[in-house]
Copies of this chain bind each other. A is one copy, B any other.
Amino acid sequence: MQSLIQDIFLKTFSNSILSQLHDSAVVPIEGHRIAITTDSYVVRPLFFPGGDIGSMAVHGTINDLAMSGATPLYLTAGFILEEGLPIETLQRVVTSMAEAAQKASVSVVCGDSKVVDRGKGDQIFINTTGVGQVPEGIDIGPPHIQPGDRILVSGDLGSHGIAVMSVREGLSFASDIVSDSAPLHRIVADLLQQGISIHCMRDLTRGGLASALNELAEISTHKFMIDESRIPVQEPVRGACEVLGLDPLYVANEGRFVLLVPANEIEKTLSALRQHSVSKLAIEIGEVLSSPPSHSPPVTLRTVVGTNRILDLLSGEQLPRIC
């Protein structure tokens, strides 16, 4: 997937904004900086503990805007419906979406729906595109990452992916795991209002923490060191991952993000994050290396047993259709 995106989309749609590879594109309109992001949601099943495709399509797109520091303003909703979809299912998803948007104070301002023949879709696919505004003076993104920056995660990892898998695979032992799907824009707004100098943020969706860190290391051309023992993973999630042969660092989250801030901002940042229930488990997990050996990998994991290992990008998708 990574090579598909690199090879086809980036080369073919070549332009300076797209090639920044940020969670959302920041573009100028009349001197204002407008953030735009798009995501299609194909999660299976549609409903899972802690959320559904509708609320997730709102949270995921809001979060991509928030990661550039933007205030989410407007959402669009594009539905691809499979013929024969029960109308009650559609109503339930749309209601959940509308509630999530209302809670997050964003408006769904336009929409579209297409119906495809039975067997040519899978109940409901949703695209949401978000438009937001980046406040004056805020500039957050991979180019601002600096050696010595501290790396934080906003909470425990893997709940979303495992919650979806538990329903899909009928894993009864994982039935108490609830998706972390949540909007993050109010937390980000709070950090910015407190004047915290955030260098970069990224939400930990498809591919989890490991993929996000690898992407950021690659774009910024810096090298990261992460301490495995500090990464929070709930015990039931860890257990489910062991049974399923998954690594929680690669499992998708829908309400977790990584932040890179200067070392002198770390206490203020953690204290601000911990005020919000969604990020109450926020913790420092590593740093951007100041003078890494040239042969060192983009992201190194100091394991719980004290050895170093390469935290690599996965070549394939560990969990398909999780978001």
Contact with B along A263-277 (1 / 0, CB 8 A): 000000000000000
A37 surroundings in chain B (CB, below 8 A) = 76, 110
Binds B, one of A112-120, A159-167, A288-296, A300-308: A112-120
Least Cβ distance of A165 to chain B in Å?
15
Q: How far is the CB of A59 from chain B (nearest CB, A)?
A: 15
Residues of B within 8 A of A133 (CB): 29-30
Chain B residues, Cβ within 8 Å of A122: 116, 120-121
Contact A110 B25 (CB under 8 A): yes
Specify how many copies of this chain sit in the oligomer.
2
Interface status of A250 (Cβ within 8 A of chain B)? no
Contact present for B76 and A116 (CB under 8 Å): no
Q: Which residues of B contact A4 (CB under 8 A)?
A: 87, 90, 113
> Closest chain B residue to A22 by CB distance?
B110
List B contacts of A110 (CB < 8 A).
17-18, 24-25, 36-38
How would residues 110 to 146 of chain A score, 1 for a CB under 8 Å from any chain B CB and 0 otherwise?
1111111101111001010101010000000000000
Interface membership of chain A positions 303-323, coded 1 if the CB is closer than 8 angstroms to chain B and 0 otherwise = 000000000000001001100
Q: How large is the interface on A (under 10, 10 to 19, 20 to 34, 35 or more residues)?
A: 35 or more
Answer whether residue A42 sits at the interface, using C-beta atoms and an 8 A cutoff.
yes
28 contacts between A and B (CB under 8 A): A1-B113, A4-B113, A8-B90, A9-B111, A9-B113, A12-B95, A13-B101, A13-B108, A18-B108, A18-B109, A18-B111, A25-B110, A27-B109, A27-B131, A29-B34, A32-B32, A36-B74, A36-B110, A37-B110, A38-B112, A39-B112, A40-B113, A78-B78, A80-B80, A117-B321, A119-B119, A121-B121, A125-B125
